[in-house]
Amino acid sequence: DTGVSQDPRHKITKRGQNVTFRCDPISEHNRLYWYRQTLGQGPEFLTYFQNEAQLEKSRLLSDRFSAERPKGSFSTLEIQRTEQGDSAMYLCASSSSGTARRGEAFFGQGTRLTVV
C-alpha cells in the first residue's frame, strides 16, 4: 500500500494524558498537512510542513499541540494534557510540489481520538 498511513487508527485516553500520533506520507511527497475533523463538520486545518520545515500553523493549534517532521519524512502530532474537547478524528494528508496546485492532497484514514 503506497497511500498515506496513520497510526494508531483509534486511541482512547484519559483526560490529562499525553498522546502522540504518527503519519507516514506517500514517499515522494514533500508536503504534509494535519487536519482535525469532528462529527458533522468538515476537516479543519491545523498545520503544514514542506520537507522538515513547519511553514504554517492554525490558531486552532494551541500550545498543548506540537507537530514535527524530522528529516522531512514521517510526522508526529502530540497533544499534551488532553481535554475532552480534543476528541476528534485527526487526519494527515500529503502532496508533492508538482500536484499541490491541483489540490491533490491525499488523505490517510485518520486517527480517531476519544478523551474520557
Partner 1 sequence: EDQVTQSPEALRLQEGESSSLNCSYTVSGLRGLFWYRQDPGKGPEFLFTLYSAGEEKEKERLKATLTKKESFLHITAPKPEDSATYLCAVRGGGSNYKLTFGKGTLLTVNP
Q: Which residues bind partner 1 (CB under 8 A)?
A: 4, 31, 33, 35, 40-45, 48, 55-56, 58, 91, 93, 100-110, 112
Residue 35 vs 65, nearer CB to partner 1: 35
Three-point CA angle 116, 93, 75, nearest 5°: 70
Min dist. Cβ of residue 9 to partner 1 (A) = 9
Residue 48 vs 65, nearer CB to partner 1: 48
Torsion of CA 27, 72, 107, 113, to 10 degrees: 130
